[in-house]
C-alpha cells in the first residue's frame, strides 16, 4: 500500500468517532488531507476549533438532508457560521424511503444553501444525493453557477447519463471503496474522467476490514481506482492531489 501522506479523504465524519479529538489527531498524523464534514450547524464550533489546530484537516459546515425534518430551523445558525469557512457539507437531498416525507423541506434547505453559497462565492460543497441525483442537479443548475462555487458529489450512485450531466455542470465526484466494490457503481465511475475525481472514506459509516474506515484508508480507494484505470497507485494519487489543488484555486 502506498504512503498516506498527501492522499485525500474529502468526506469523513470525524466528529462521529468515539473520540473526536483523537480522530482529528490521527488524521493529522497520517498526512491525509481530510475534510471533516458535519451534519448539523450545532456541530460546527467544535469541528472548526479542532481543525484550526491542524495542517491537514479542514471542517465543513453542514445540515444533513436526513436531519432536515427535525433541524430545518437550524438553517439560521448555518447562515451565521457560513462566513467562517470555505467548505460546506454535508448537504443535499435524500429521497430514500425513510426520508422521502421531508423532501420538500430538504429542497428548501438545499436551495437556500446553494443560493447563499452563490452569493458568497468560492465555496466548495460536498453533496449527498441518494435517489435524488436529477433533483440535486436541477437545483445546482438553477442556483449555483459554476463560476460561483464548486460541487463535489459524495458517494454518487446516479446513472451514467446523470453523471455526464453533472460533469457538464462542472461537478467533481468523491469516490470510496464501497462504490468501487459495486459492479453497477464501478461501471458508472469508469465514465468519469480521473481529473474530476477525489477520494473519500465516509467514515465511520463505511468499514475497512473489521473496523470503521479512517482517513488513512483512502489508500485502498486509490489502489482500487488504479486497478480500474490500469495505472500505478502513485500516478493515481498524484492526479487526485492535483485535482484537489485545482478545486482549491
Domain ranges of the chain: 8-248
Q: Are 84 and 58 in contact (CB under 8 A)?
A: no
Q: What's the pLDDT tens digit per position in 76-91?
A: 999 999 999 999 999 9
- Average pLDDT of every residue of the chain: 98
Residue 116 has what pLDDT? 99
Tell me the binding residues.
Answer: 11, 13, 90, 128, 154, 202
Query: How far is it, in rounded angstroms, from Cα 26 to Cα 145?
Result: 36
CATH topology of domain 8-248: TIM Barrel (3.20.20)
pLDDT of amino acid 230: 97
Known binding site for a divalent metal cation: residues? 11, 13, 90, 128, 154, 202
Please report which confidence band the pLDDT of residue 161 belongs to, taking 50, 70 and 90 as the band edges.
Answer: very high
pTM over 0.95: yes
pLDDT at 58: 99
Label residue 123 by pLDDT band (50, 70, 90): very high
pLDDT band, very low/low/confident/very high, at 1 (cuts 50, 70, 90): low
Confidence of residue 28 (pLDDT cuts 50, 70, 90): very high
pLDDT at 92: 99
Count the neighbouring beta carbons within 10 Å of the beta carbon of residue 54.
Answer: 16
Based on its alpha-carbon atoms, the radius of gyration of the chain, rounded to whole angstroms, reads 17
- Kindly indicate the confidence band of residue 2, based on its pLDDT and cuts at 50, 70 and 90: confident
The answer, yes or no, to whether the previous bond of 204 is cis (omega within 30 of 0) is: yes
Q: pLDDT value at position 159?
A: 96
Amino acid at each position: 500500500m502506498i504512503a498516506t501522506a498527501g492522499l485525500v479523504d474529502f468526506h469523513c465524519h470525524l466528529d462521529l468517532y468515539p473520540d473526536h479529538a483523537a480522530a482529528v489527531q490521527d488524521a493529522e498524523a497520517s498526512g491525509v488531507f481530510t475534510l471533516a464534514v458535519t451534519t448539523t450547524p450545532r456541530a460546527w464550533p467544535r469541528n472548526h476549533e479542532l481543525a484550526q489546530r491542524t495542517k491537514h484537516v479542514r471542517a465543513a459546515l453542514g445540515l444533513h438532508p436526513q436531519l432536515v425534518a427535525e433541524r430545518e430551523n437550524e438553517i439560521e445558525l448555518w447562515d451565521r457560521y457560513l462566513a467562517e469557512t470555505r467548505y460546506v457539507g454535508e448537504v443535499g437531498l435524500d429521497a430514500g424511503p425513510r426520508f422521502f416525507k421531508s423532501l420538500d423541506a430538504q429542497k428548501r434547505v438545499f436551495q437556500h444553501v446553494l443560493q447563499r453559497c452563490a452569493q458568497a462565492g468560492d465555496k466548495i460543497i460536498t453533496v449527498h444525493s441518494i435517489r435524488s441525483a436529477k433533483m440535486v442537479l436541477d437545483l445546482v443548475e438553477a442556483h449555483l453557477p459554476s463560476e460561483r462555487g464548486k460541487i463535489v458529489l459524495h458517494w454518487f450512485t446516479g446513472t451514467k447519463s446523470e453523471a455526464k450531466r453533472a460533469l457538464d455542470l462542472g461537478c467533481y465526484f468523491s469516490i470510496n471503496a464501497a462504490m468501487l466494490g459495486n459492479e453497477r457503481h464501478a461501471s458508472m465511475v469508469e465514465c468519469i474522467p480521473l481529473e474530476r475525481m477525489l477520494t473519500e472514506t465516509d467514515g465511520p459509516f463505511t468499514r475497512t476490514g473489521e473496523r470503521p474506515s479512517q482517513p488513512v484508508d483512502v489508500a485502498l480507494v486509490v489502489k482500487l481506482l488504479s486497478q480500474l484505470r490500469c495505472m500505478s497507485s502513485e500516478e493515481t494519487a498524484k492526479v487526485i492531489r492535483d485535482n484537489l489543488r485545482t478545486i482549491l484555486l
